[in-house]
Amino acid sequence: MTEKFKVAALASGRGTNLQALLDEAGRPGSPFSVVLVISDNPQAHALERANREGVATAVVLRKDHPSRASFDEALADTAKRYGVELVCLAGFMRVLTSAFLSRFRGRVINIHPSLLPSFPGLDAPRQALEKGVKVTGCTVHFVDEGVDTGPIITQIPVDVEPDDTVETLSARILVREHVAYVRSVRQIAEGKIPFPHPALALAIPPMETP
């Protein structure tokens, strides 16, 4: 049997995108396997989801590290120990620095609840409602040193309804996030997307700021 493509997820919270990946990895013939879930939050429901599926977990606490760089190095060391090929951010509430990204250049992806480059950062569905856009959606993208700025892999649009609240809109986007994330990870694992991302794999990391 050929070895499956090894995926790790970094998650801080409820982990529904992680669950979508775990479900897909469990299907017969899946080209990838989730080998590790790392969290910065010991209470994250994502960790329970991983435990339930028998997937290894690790908790790396920011407070145990004197700097962002040393926290990021600990995350990268952990993922390297498991031979991880692709890192999926799945509701990970910290911005990774080059201390992590330089170890997984072009191998980190994220799911974001808007059609980037519109509405990066926190509360994207709220930003979309406040702006009054009629269509929003979700984006899967490679991660670079910016916030939600890396090369886009796929997007799915979602109509904004006149009576939408942040909750109803977020819920409809979330359903599409699961589809987009699973599809992207499958395509990467099957070699259908250039991987590691060529431009990011070559990038020279910027100088660390203290």
CB 86 within 8 A of CB 133: no
Cβ proximity to ligand GRF: between 94 and 201 the closer is 94
What track of x and - describes contact with ligand GRF for positions 58 through 97 (by CB under 6 A)?
--------------------------------xx------
Residue among 106, 113, 137, 150 that touches ligand GRF (CB under 6 A): 113
* CB of 210 vs ligand GRF, minimal distance in Å: 27
In degrees and rounded to multiples of 5, residue 123 shows phi and psi of: 55, 45
Residue among 14, 103, 176, 183 that touches ligand GRF (CB under 6 A): 14
16 binds ligand GRF (CB under 6 A): yes
What is the C-alpha separation between 62 and 41, in angstroms, rounded? Answer: 9
Structure tokens at 11: 């998650």
What is the C-alpha separation between 2 and 137, in angstroms, rounded? Answer: 36
Cβ proximity to ligand GRF: between 17 and 30 the closer is 17
Q: State the amino acid at position 6 in one-letter form.
A: K
What is the C-alpha separation between 3 and 31, in angstroms, rounded? Answer: 9
Nearest residue to 115 (alpha-carbon basis) of 199, 187, 173, 200? 173
The span from the first CA to the last CA of the chain, in angstroms, equals 46
What track of x and - describes contact with ligand GRF for positions 17 through 46 (by CB under 6 A)?
x-----------------------------
DSSP 158: E
- Stretch of 10-18, 47-55, 68-76, 128-136 contacting ligand GRF, by CB under 6 A: 10-18
Cβ proximity to ligand GRF: between 29 and 146 the closer is 146
DSSP 118: S
* CB of 86 vs ligand GRF, minimal distance in Å: 16
Binding positions for ligand GRF, rule: CB under 6 A: 11, 13-17, 90-91, 111-113, 174, 177
Q: Which residues are catalytic?
A: 112
